[in-house]
Structure 1
Amino acid sequence: MTLTEIRAQAIAPALALLPGRMSEHRPAVEVLLLTTHLQEAPNREQCQLPVRPGKCGPARGIFQFERGGGVAGVLRHPASRPHVFTVCAKLGVVPTLDGIFDALPSQCDVLDAALARLLYWTDRNPLPALGDVEGAWQYYLHNWRPGAWERGTPAQRQALRRKWGLNYAKAMDEVRA
């Protein structure tokens, strides 16, 4: 699936399910979401570290949500919780940790994109401006808390930051097209 398809088939429908204020500065929102997707699951992996055929590891979906991490976070945070219930109702997903987590690897990319926007929505800091690669990187680190960064060596961290810059450029090209 191309970035154009992800925008059209996951991000646009997800944003349509959320209040309009979550789409303000839409190009910046789309670039941030596309970059996050490319950082987390560049090949549209639905399961992180498959433990055996048909069984996912700790993270799922094209934004790689963990049950006790991002899913729990958006379900519990007062800024996102009511919106999670609305999105789940519209998509026919049971709005529980297990209901949402189980829906993610089944190609429910709209749910995944909605959760990603909601996770960023919980941040009190403003959305980084379009083109602010470093600001977007710091925003991503603060909200996603990627294990590869937290546990990474200096060389691994440098590679992740370089990857972010490349992915941000790809996302910018897509949104500007």
Structure 2
Amino acid sequence: MRSDLLDVVNSFPFNEVSIGYRLVTIFTADELKEAQIGYSIDINGQSLTGTGDGDWYPSWLVIGNEDETGDPIFIDADDDQFPVYTAMHGEDDWEPDEIAVSLNSFISALCYIKELSVGRENPVALEKNPIPTDEQERILKIISETNKNIEMDFWETWLENE
């Protein structure tokens, strides 16, 4: 595994971000190999990758997951910026949605979400302390400006008060 990628993964300031019903877990460098099971390899270490439409590409590396849906969060390790994607789990083919233009911008976006999550870590706390609309808009604008041309659905669902 590329040492520059491991350096970035090891630099994550936290391994979980939880707000309302949503929890994203980012794996440690030690967990990355096992995290690939079911995506790029099977339990015996055999490749599950391909280069056709809907295949899991050999350059994709799972770095975390979103627990509400179980969807993986992964990067394209062939791109020096390590763009970050998610894809719906269990759809028989993989259709990635880019959620950050780089791993660094993903970390930054998660840091903004982490700050907003204080006092809103679970559904009951979020109901008692909803995110003000102007704060939702401010954070989404920051994320959008640092991640040009991505779909914002992933980030918008984080900031819903439901």
Is the strand fraction higher in 1 or 2? 2
TM-score normalised by the chain length of structure 2: 0.28
